[in-house]
Amino acid sequence: MSEYKIVTGNFASAYGARLARAEVVSAYPITPQTEVVEKISEFVADGDMDAEFVKVESEHSAMASCIAASATGARAYTATSAHGLALMHEMLMWAARARLPIVMTNVNRAMGPPWSVWADHLDTIAQKGSGMMQFFCENNQEVLDSILMAYKISEDEDIMLPSMVVEDAFILSHTREPVEIYDQELVDDFLPPLDMDQKVDIEDPKGFGSLVMPDWYMDFAKKLEEAMMEAKDKVKEVNKEFKETFGRDPGGLIEEYKTDGVDVLMITMGSISGTSKDVIDELRDEGHNIGLARLRTFRPFPKEEIRELTKDVNVVGILDRSYSFGRAGDAAREIKEAIYGYNSPLVKNYIVGLGGRDLTPEVLELIMEDSLELLDEDPDQDELDPEVEWVDLRIDRNKWRR
Amino acid sequence: MAEFPEKELMNSGHNACPGCGAAHAMRYMLKALGKNTTVNIPACCWAVIPGVYPSRNLEVPLLYTAFETTGASSSGIRAALKKRDDVDDAEVEVVGFAGDGGTADIGIQALSGAIERNTDTIQVMYDNEAYMNTGIQRSGVTPEGAWTTTTPVGSKGDWKKQPKKEMMEIVESHNVPYAATVNIAYPDSFVEKFKKAKEFSGPRFMHIYAPCPTGWRARPSDAVELGRLAHKSRFFPLFEIEHGKYNIYKEPKEDEVIPVKEYLKIQGRFRHLPEEMVEKIQKRVDTKWEQLKKKERFTQEELYE
């Protein structure tokens, strides 16, 4: 029977891995992911989850053992955060290039120094070229839902790519919300056991990952990209099937919130989206023609959807909870690149909430009002100053308070 | 003596250098372990030796992995085998096969983790005493006095100054059920010890002495001779540790023992050494041998009986 539990994002991750019947779990503790490994340890210790839990000595080894387990035909799961993800970097690349359908949770946390354990997307964004799919979640239910969907997408024979399900540190990881823990039989129907053609098998010995000459490598890389492109349709398809099975629609590649015919479109990722939607409602009540789109998948990047959404929009305000030093926020950069040559709205990038800085409804409203003002002022893109604005820095707090 | 296994699981056609000890090592190991074996190999000479895609010369499943992951990769394979309905995982030997750098330097963390977790695996260090695949750079297991491309001697005598890292001792301190040194110059005892390792479950460690004529600046035809001289000079003693008990095997008789100098002199990598360094190396070899004998005596007689 399906039941509601009041759980943190971390527990939602653990329940997701359990419902998905992950067979091999390999993980190393890091704040704020620790509850995931603790909860799964409890599941295994109580016999509620039939998994081999490899309690490794580093995140690098966590992903390395997931890779070997997956290559040997097991459904593998791991979870980490920030520095752990950075330490895994080599193996994330490896998992993708080995075309292994591993699913992991990453709890978004800022990179040090200075030490910070709070929310920041740079850890995940820095892995955007790894070949892993990335699903940014708005709430705890979506964390669980995304893990189930991620396995289904990753394990599709046309895709065979690893996935990262992303939850914001503390805001989701340590905040309890009601989450529906689905009936196991329903999940089993939705997500059948993993059955890989090619695996480490003594009855059918093969080699996996051998040296290739330059005459081959590039073609393998292209196949990975083709799988990534194919995954866009697969995300939508699985999203639809998920909705039919469980009655929830997490939003596919990009969730649209009151975007029809808007003049100003705000684009967000992750947990700030929930609060942002409330602010959108308030502003719309005040008569402003503003809507919101939430990027769920940063990889594959929904460029066609972005083009469609921005077609008749005058101003696009993009909130990035990370910063690519020397350039801009990555969502903004990628969105601009996607619409170049198609649409030409005014685009402003807001850098927000780095290292867990609080994003109150007040601050979000001031950001959106700033975008609405651009609509009235109608400057050219090259007149935007600043084009990339760091919001609510200590030095100009007054600007971001009523 | 048991019959030497005829079945070849390593086919002809490989990318090893002439006289490669590591090529012998894989061949003999697979003869001993048989076809129910998985092999995971990190970056090392053996990442290249099996052949370039789409060729492969091993008749067992081969998972290539990243440099520092051998122990973790073996753990992952073992964990997955336990979950496979179509496999009796107790019938499969999971072997992590890494070079000295991959085992003792960059891979030591994953090795330590895997054996501390009591992973059912054989972790192999085929020891050619330097990073050979990348072009003969020093590792922690390179012996004292050796020339490598990163200990180039030069005009200041900048050879490897530190003694060889002792992996058998490091592994033994994890309380593994079985660890042994083997030498490719003695295929019979090589195969015998691997077969013995196979009889244990849990983490096992095999330290293979695998001469590299290319990197040691020796003649390819001397590869086996190098192995014999290393053994006779006690430079590379053959011993096993079974649940903490040391046992020296194939011990050279007193009148067979040769000076280390005999071993060093057929290798270009030691040719720069002044006489006092050769004496120093001899002294270290003698001391280590005495220690080993005492460990054997202590663990066999006093500690356990």
The shortest CB-CB distance from A210 to any of B52, B68, B109 is to B52
Strand segments, DSSP code E, in A269-402 are: 290-295, 297-299, 315-320, 346-351, 388-390
pLDDT of residue B140: 98
The shortest CB-CB distance from A207 to any of B50, B71, B113 is to B50
Interface test with B, best of A58, A61, A102 (most B CBs within 10 A): A61
| Chain A residues whose beta carbon lies within 8 Å of the beta carbon of residue B38 | 72, 200, 202
Q: Do A58 and B75 touch (CB under 8 A)?
A: no
pLDDT digits (tens, 9 = 90+) for B176-213: 999 999 999 999 999 999 999 999 999 999 999 999 99
Domain definitions of chain B by residue range: 21-302
Query: What is the mean predicted confidence (pLDDT) over A290-310?
Result: 98
Q: For chain B, say whether A205 makes contact (Cβ under 8 Å).
A: yes
Q: Take residue B102 and report the two structure tokens written for it.
A: 């991959």
pLDDT digits (tens, 9 = 90+) for A27-59: 999 999 999 999 999 999 999 999 999 999 999
| Chain B residues whose beta carbon lies within 8 Å of the beta carbon of residue A73 | 80, 84
Interface test with B, best of A210, A212, A219 (most B CBs within 10 A): A210
pLDDT of residue A1: 84
Q: How far is B209 from chain A (nearest CA, A)?
A: 25
Alpha helices (runs of H) in A72-213, residue ranges in sequence order:
82-97, 122-125, 140-154, 184-190
Q: How far is A64 from chain B (nearest CA, A)?
A: 6
**What burial class does residue A175 get, using C-beta atoms within 10 Å of its C-beta: 0-12 exposed, 13-18 middle, 19+ buried?**
middle
Query: What is the mean predicted confidence (pLDDT) over A359-368?
Result: 98
Q: For chain B, say whether A193 makes contact (Cβ under 8 Å).
A: no
Q: How far is A309 from chain B (nearest CA, A)?
A: 42
Cα distance between residue A5 and residue B127, in whole Å: 55
pLDDT of residue B3: 81
3-state DSSP assignment of residue B41? strand
pLDDT of residue B303: 59
| Chain B residues whose beta carbon lies within 8 Å of the beta carbon of residue A54 | 72, 75-76, 79, 117
C-alpha distances (whole Å) from A121 to each of A87, A97, A267, B32, B159 are 16, 23, 15, 51, 47
Q: For chain B, say whether A90 makes contact (Cβ under 8 Å).
A: yes
pLDDT at A245 over 70: yes
**Fold classification of B21-302 (topology level):** Rossmann fold (3.40.50)
Closest residue on chain A to B80 (Cα): A69
Compute the count of residue pairs across chains A and B with CB atoms less than 8 Å apart. 161
ipTM associated with this complex:
0.97
pLDDT digits (tens, 9 = 90+) for B224-266: 999 999 999 999 999 999 999 999 999 999 999 999 999 999 9
Average pLDDT, chain A: 97
Q: How far is B49 from chain A (nearest CA, A)?
A: 10
- Report the helix count and the strand count for chain A, using DSSP H and E: 12, 16
Q: Which residue ranges form the domains of chain A, and what is each CATH number?
A: 3-246 (3.40.50.970), 254-400 (3.40.50.920)
pLDDT at B2 over 70: no
SS (H, E, C) A10-60: HHHHHHHHHHCCCCEEEECCCCCCHHHHHHHHHHHHCCCCCCEEEECCCHH
DSSP state, B252?
P
